[in-house]
Structure 1
Amino acid sequence: MDPSRRAVLGLGAGLMTAAGLAACGSSGQKDGDGPVTLTVWAREGDNSMEDQMGAFEAAHPGITVQLSSVSNDQYLTKFANAIRSGSVPDLINFDIINAPLLATQGQLTDITEQSKGLANLEDLAPAGIEVGTLEDAIFSLPVALTGSQMFWNKALFEAAGLDPEVPPTTLAEVKEFAEKIQATGEGISGFSTIGGAGGAFTGFPSGWADGGEIVSDPGPDQVSSFSDPAMVAMVAWYQDMWQSGLMQPTDEPNQDPGNVGQQNVLEGNVGIIFTGANTFSGKEDQFGSVAGIPGTSGELASFLGGNQAAIPLGAPHPEEAWTLLEWLVSDQEAAELNRTAGWIAPDLALAESLASDDWAAATVGSLAVGRLPISIAYFAIINDPNGPWAQNSQAVIFEGADPATTMARAQEQADQLIADAYRQIG
């Protein structure tokens, strides 16, 4: 069996087995009127949560938070084990892409009524609400977000005779500008993408900007759209950038330059970059930015990344857990701590009010055009390095495979994985 198929089926089986044991867990009742200790799981790498929990405790003297960091690749397995043992945490903060799978498995508390009572519900990032909603019921809310954007090195623009305040507006212009930048000197790369060449975070937005789709609406009839002409054109563009020598070299074939690429960007050796704003912490004055990534038409789109939070079924203190969740999505101090840590607060109106310059405004603006694929098979079809999107798009970009036929094959593989995932959950 394909490794990506085993991944999604194994996860589904683990959570389904755990679901049968959930009734054996805690009752979800609060401990009288005395002090309460909330157990909270944070996704590893969410550097805002520790400071936020301290601020929350200060504002809520009767509640203490016990925060645990869980690695992303172990998160779902650990949660399934917690359900089996009847010892779920009070609040889980997890990768936003996993929201559909967790909601479908029936292990999250329905928070529709509480969410609709939020004064700022209409201001929360729309894609974050959408991904946390299943059949009109809300099961999770966005708490710390980021978006993909285009950035450029102003000094390299000047060296290439380009206006440092005027970025390229289409993928064709990105290539044109990259050629001029790369001609300025040895060791200079015209373009880099930090987030996987042709991958979800920095690749999909170019296809979305041109009206493309990756998957249809979630549900048992969901299918992928990997052969959508806009998505095929996006992968073909990356192939051209690689074959033209304009994309920053990778350490190994078929791999994104990753941390080495980021270091080269920060050292001023790359002209145009598709990535997230976190990359440029402390270097913002050296780069320009726009609120998204362009396609071929001049439109912008962005991949909505970040963290979602939910209250598991059987949580020992669901009322206090909601108090925390409401604070995370609504409180100004929580929003300021997100900003300090490089995240964007889920309340876009609040985030905009905290934006102190054009850079910050563009970062927040990326969420207004932010999207993400909603599928219970997301990991298997897109994120898994052995899965259909990664394997086939990389074959096109780095090995010269034909874009149309290769992505059509990837679509067939993805459709089978989606069907398997829905069969597994019944």
Structure 2
Amino acid sequence: MRHATRTRRRLRLVSIAASFAALAMVASSCGGDDDGNGDAGDGNGDEGDTAAEGDAADGMGVDDGSTITMWTRAATEAQSQRLVDAYNESHENQVELTVVPTDDYLPRLGTAAGAGELPDVVGLDVVFVPQFTTVGAFLDITDRIEALPFADSIAPSHVDVGTFEDRKHVVPHTMDLSVYFYNKDLYEQAGLDPEQPPATLEEFAEHARAIDDLGDDVHGTFFGGNCPGCYVFTWWPSIWADGHEVMNDDGTEAMLDSPEAQAVYDVWKGLVEDDVIAPGTQDEAGPTWTGVFPEGDIGIMPMPSTTLGLMPEDFETGVAPIRGIDGGESTFVGGDSVGIAANSEVPDQAWNFIAWTLSDEAQIEVVAANDDVVARTDLATNKYSEQDERLVTINEVAAQGRTPYTLKFWEAFNDPQGPWLPLVRGYVFGDGSTIEADNEAITAVLQSG
């Protein structure tokens, strides 16, 4: 029986290797890249999970001088390297980090998973985590997570999207959120209170219109109008903020033609029709969409939180949560999750590193010290973020954020040739007459084998 289970697991891992090979052109436009238990085990039999789990279920794992291998994609190299360096300086274990070009990362992970040769610690763009957890590529770390003294404070979205059959497989590694950036100088010039950012999506539009009325080269807002991942990252939070969904729970049915979703599109469509959007919006495919606001001529726009450090000093930048039609707040929680490979021979040592990255020491002295988003809600205000209220805002909204769960995220939503882009562009720049058919096309992709 165990042999049959191992065979099934290996066949499924080979299957994802083949499917990820088709993702070689995966772009970095989703989620801020601009920037059960199942069959998971130790690779040698189902009983291996329980033994390894029990060895380290009492806390922080084992630090005995072992070598731990880790892979990360180039998009998150800086954050990963800082954590690895700090860990290696203070622990007997040593982490060997391999950085893979972002566009090559998914195919390489898929191939390694199929061969049972993943590194001990795997960092992975959070939106693609379900494609690995559902085939047993990650070790079940439920008990390890729950044994942590700060378990209830770990930012939930990464953990949730990595939960399969009620078992947890990953925790946050790096966090990137979508938030409103607004130009306080332009707010003042337009007669708006720079300390009162929009409380609803409708108010967002009102502020954008007021700033656009300043004329000259000033524009109300901007967005990546030909960038599928940009829409996902910055518009879906407005749907979530009102308590609505973009897909069903298992990510197999799209709800992007709902009245609630259309209400969000209508706000943006109105801004387009009233020429409140800066030139170039309709053709912006993603590579330069975050470079427009820092030029100082845009009033307000949703962008990745990681761009805060790129804001110029010649005008004052405010940060606020993304709002829904009725208010509320939400964010698309992007970045990378991290887990232990099912084939790892040093799972307790790998957990020692992962658990440490979530500790007060790492989250404050490595993550917060470099103005990155902390992965724990209880550390939203810390000695570094309290020096900049914008960082507190970004850290706090993480608890309200979402990461969508689906096995077909790339094909349905991030692929420029996929069905999501025609839906949203057809609505905002066209007459919206094909929205139901487009939504059905998305569902067909979500349900494809």
Shorter chain as denominator, the TM-score bin is: 0.7 to 0.9
> Partners of 2:375 and 2:361 in 1: how far apart?
11
Alignment correspondent of 1:382: 413
Alignment correspondent of 2:348: 319
- Where does structure 1 lack aligned partners over 5 or more consecutive residues? 1-9, 422-426
- More off after superposition, 388-397 vs 125-134: 388-397
Deviation at 1:366, TM superposition (A): 1.5
Q: Is it true that 1:268 corresponds to 2:296 in the alignment?
A: yes
> Partners of 2:447 and 2:258 in 1: how far apart?
19
Deviation at 1:363, TM superposition (A): 0.6
Alignment correspondent of 1:295: 324
- More off after superposition, 36-45 vs 134-143: 36-45
Alignment correspondent of 2:240: 208
- The ranges of structure 1 where at least 4 consecutive aligned residues each deviate by more than 6 angstroms after the TM superposition are none
> Partners of 1:411 and 1:307 in 2: how far apart?
28
* Cα deviations by residue, 1:376-401 (Å, 9 ceiling, x for unpaired): 11222111111111222122223x13
Deviation at 1:134, TM superposition (A): 0.8
SS across alignment from 1:241: helix
> Partners of 1:386 and 1:257 in 2: how far apart?
14
Q: Is it true that 1:182 corresponds to 2:212 in the alignment?
A: yes
Alignment correspondent of 1:369: 400
Kindly tell me the number of residue pairs found equivalent between the two proteins.
Answer: 400
* Cα deviations by residue, 1:35-72 (Å, 9 ceiling, x for unpaired): 42221111222121111111101111x22221112233
SS across alignment from 1:48: helix
> Partners of 1:406 and 1:208 in 2: how far apart?
23
Q: Is it true that 1:411 corresponds to 2:439 in the alignment?
A: yes
Deviation at 1:258, TM superposition (A): 4.3
TM-score when normalising by structure 2: 0.81
Letter in 2 for 1:362: T
Q: Is the 1:212–1:228 contact (alpha carbons within 8 Å) kept by the matching residues of 2?
A: no
Deviation at 1:375, TM superposition (A): 0.9
Alignment correspondent of 1:277: 305
Deviation at 1:325, TM superposition (A): 0.8
Letter in 1 for 2:447: A
Alignment correspondent of 1:424: none
Q: Is the 1:89–1:316 contact (alpha carbons within 8 Å) kept by the matching residues of 2?
A: no
Q: Which of 163, 179, 183 is matched with 1:133 structurally?
A: 163
Deviation at 1:369, TM superposition (A): 1.3
Q: Is the 2:176–2:335 contact (alpha carbons within 8 Å) kept by the matching residues of 1?
A: yes
Deviation at 1:182, TM superposition (A): 1.6
Alignment correspondent of 1:14: 18
Q: Is it true that 1:309 corresponds to 2:313 in the alignment?
A: no
TM-score when normalising by structure 1: 0.85
Q: Which of 332, 353, 358 is matched with 2:361 structurally?
A: 332
> Partners of 2:302 and 2:442 in 1: how far apart?
26
Letter in 1 for 2:204: V
Alignment correspondent of 1:7: none
> Partners of 1:109 and 1:16 in 2: how far apart?
20
SS across alignment from 2:327: coil
Mapping of residues 108-127 of structure 1, within 5 Å: 108-127=138-157
Mapping of residues 9-408 of structure 1, within 5 Å: 12=16, 14=18, 35-46=65-76, 47-60=78-91, 62-193=92-223, 196=227, 199-218=231-250, 222-250=252-280, 253-256=282-285, 258-259=287-288, 261-281=289-309, 283=311, 286-290=316-320, 292-354=321-383, 355-356=385-386, 357-398=388-429, 400-402=430-432, 405-408=433-436
